[in-house]
Structure 1
Amino acid sequence: MNIRKMSLIALFIALSVIGAAIKIPAIIGSIALDVFPAILAGAFFGAVPGAIVGGFGHMVSALIGGMPLGPLHFIVAISMALLIYIFAKLFQHGKRTLAYIVFVLGNTFIAPLPFIFILDIAFYIALVPSLFVGSLLNVLIAWLMIPRLVTVFQGAYQRGEAKG
């Protein structure tokens, strides 16, 4: 991986940090705007860079929020990375609407499934509405920004070498 790629990934992780600092109160904890930079990175640069931004972005958001789930945030970061990876693969194959829907449903209902076994079903049920609102909000922001930024990032990250 070259310096330009690492710089672009770091830029989107920094955007996740900024988004993580913007908290909206929710039923459990708060909703952060830390995911939309990962969605943008997945759309512009591909599945692996998007997944890296998604995983690191969640960990930074959790650190800013005081790590309320402790080491369980590693499970969330892995699930976030996987969801962004799937989103980017669908997006790259022209299934953009499906990519957004899969991300929202996956982040709302599938990603928190391990917490049924680790904590209990009540935690899962209480978490789902907040995750739905947060996922939807992050996806809407990304959906609005992608068409406006595509010309900025077009060709910035192709075939392993960024144009410069």
Structure 2
Amino acid sequence: MNVKKINILAIFIAISVIGAFIKIPSFIGSVALDSFPSLIAGVLLGGGAGGIVAGFGHLVSALIGGLPLGIFHLFIAAEMCLLVFVFTKIYQTGNQFVSYMWFVLGNGIILPLPFFVFLGKGFYVSMVPVLLIGAVVNGMIAKLLIPRLESFLNGRREAKQ
């Protein structure tokens, strides 16, 4: 990764940190607008970069929320990293609708499944609606911003050539 991409990655991490302060009301407190920068970074910089932003974004959001799930947040950060990586790969195939559906269903239903085992049915059932809302809002913001940022960055690339 070159210096320019590292700088852009740092900007997306910073935006994710800002989004981590914008919480979606829930009893856990770590559901926030920290994911949309990772989706954008994934599309613009690649799945690995998007995954890094997703992992950092979740950890900061959890820290701001008081780390209610303790060490489990490291596991969730790894899940988010993988989720965004796969989102990016699907998006790059040209199937944007499926990529967003993957993100929403993955974030809202699939990723919390291990907590069904660890923390019980009540925790899972109470978190799924909030996670789905958070995933939809993060996905919608990314869906609105990605085309604009792609054209902006592509326009700058064409102007330099």
* Deviation (angstroms), 1:27: 5.2
* Deviation (angstroms), 1:4: 1.8
Aligned-partner residue type, residue 79 of structure 2 = S
**Mapped partners of 1:28, 1:68: distance in 2:** 6
Q: How many residues align?
A: 159
CA contact (8 A) 1:27 1:130 kept: no
5+ long unaligned stretches in structure 2: none
Equivalence for 1:83: 83
Aligned-partner residue type, residue 64 of structure 2 = I
State the Cα deviation string for residues 6-38 of structure 1 (Å, max 9, x = none): 211111010000000112313543631100000
Greater helix percent: which structure? 2
State the SS of the aligned residue for 1:23.
Answer: coil
5+ long unaligned stretches in structure 1: 158-162
**Mapped partners of 2:51, 2:156: distance in 1:** 18
Identity %: 51
* Deviation (angstroms), 1:122: 1.1
TM-score of the superposition, structure 2-length normalised? Answer: 0.91
CA contact (8 A) 1:44 1:154 kept: no
State the 4+ residue runs in structure 1 displaced beyond 6 angstroms. Answer: none
Equivalence for 1:139: 139
Please report the RMSD computed on the Cα atoms of aligned residues, expressed in angstroms.
1.9
Bigger relative CO (Cα 8 Å, ≥ 6 apart): 1
